[in-house]
């Protein structure tokens, strides 16, 4: 992994604080899908947390510098204060190959609209459910409605291939936005007790799309017939040069 702060090798002190915000993206052949959404997310969060804008061109310049010609990578841009931009470059990630088994947990991320640092609780819930044999946690509200997974948005498929997104505290993820732009979508409350009435479900984030096999002990329908065209449309979204 390579980590830079403002275009220079990062110092240990640049990595300590758990206050701040970030975005994570996959780079392929020097491009990023939905790059404008990543830059918009950073700017909006920076204005909210630090009361100042974060110019997208500055972020792009620093990402290009950190990539140093690397064509394919996982990139994370982190802001722990108002001034310094930390960019990390690691090996590219791929979505899981197998449909995911989820376990519901009673937790909603605080300030869920922000992709913020210090996410101990969701990481710990994911660790605990994996020890029970599940792949990830699905976060639920106090009244039993689905929100998101520990690291991804969750969408539910109708028989016509359209998507229902939970209307609950969650991050409006970049990949979710791209699905919304390419597949008919609505947002409404999704009670945990009603997830078996859908034609399938999937998780989506910058790493990609993966089907959901089950939630708790409830098997969900095979989503692949409806998910394949959704993934194909998503794959057709252009990759914007960094």
Mean pLDDT of the chain: 97
Residue 118: pLDDT over 90: no
Among the listed residues 24, 29, 39, the one whose alpha carbon sits nearest the alpha carbon of residue 205: 24
Pairing between β-strand 73-79 and β-strand 185-188 as defined by DSSP bridges: unpaired
Note whether 161 and 226 are within 8 A (CB).
Answer: yes
Q: How confident is the model at residue 232 (pLDDT cuts 50, 70, 90)?
A: very high
**Interval 144-171 mean pLDDT:** 98
pLDDT of the residue at 240: 97
Band of residue 203 on the pLDDT scale cut at 50, 70, 90: very high
pLDDT exceeds cutoff 90 at 61:
yes
Cα 67 off chain centre by = 21
- Structural domains in the chain plus CATH codes: 2-90 (3.30.470.10), 100-239 (3.20.10.10)
Predicted confidence (pLDDT) per residue in 90-103, tens digit: 999 999 999 999 99
Euclidean distance between the first and the last CA atom of the chain, given in angstroms as a whole number: 19
Helix axes of 35-50 and 56-67: crossing angle, nearest 10 degrees: 120
Categorize the per-residue pLDDT at 138 as very low, low, confident or very high, splitting at 50, 70 and 90. Answer: very high
User: Across residues 128-149, what is the average pLDDT?
Assistant: 98
pTM listed for this prediction: 0.95
Give the mean model confidence (pLDDT) for residues 20-32. Answer: 98
Whether the pLDDT of residue 162 is over 90: the answer is yes
Helices 224-235 and 174-182, axial angle in degrees (round to 10): 100
Of 12-16, 37-41, 75-79, 146-150, which range is least confident? 12-16
């Amino acid at each position: 992994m390579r980590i830079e702060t403002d275009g220079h090798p990062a110092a240990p002190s640049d990595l300590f604080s758990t206050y701040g915000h970030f975005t994570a993206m996959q780079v392929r052949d020097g491009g990023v899908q939905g790059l404008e959404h990543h830059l918009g997310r950073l700017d909006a969060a920076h204005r909210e947390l630090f009361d100042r804008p974060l110019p997208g061109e500055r972020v792009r310049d620093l990402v290009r510098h950190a990539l140093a010609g690397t064509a394919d990578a996982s990139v994370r841009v982190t802001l722990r204060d108002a001034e310094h931009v930390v960019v990390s470059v690691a090996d590219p990630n791929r979505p899981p190959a197998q449909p995911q088994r989820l376990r519901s947990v009673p937790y909603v991320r605080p300030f869920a609209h922000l992709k913020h640092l210090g996410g101990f609780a969701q990481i710990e819930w994911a660790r605990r459910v994996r020890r029970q044999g599940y792949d990830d946690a699905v976060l639920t509200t106090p009244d039993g409605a689905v929100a998101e997974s520990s690291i991804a948005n969750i969408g539910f498929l109708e028989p016509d291939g359209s998507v229902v997104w939970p209307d609950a505290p969650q991050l409006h993820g970049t990949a979710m936005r791209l699905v919304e732009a390419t597949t008919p979508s609505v947002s409404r409350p999704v009670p945990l007790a009603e997830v078996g009435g859908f034609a399938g479900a999937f998780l989506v984030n910058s790493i990609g799309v993966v089907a959901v096999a089950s939630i708790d002990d409830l098997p969900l329908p095979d989503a692949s017939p409806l998910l394949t065209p959704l993934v194909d449309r998503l794959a057709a979204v252009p990759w914007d040069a960094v």
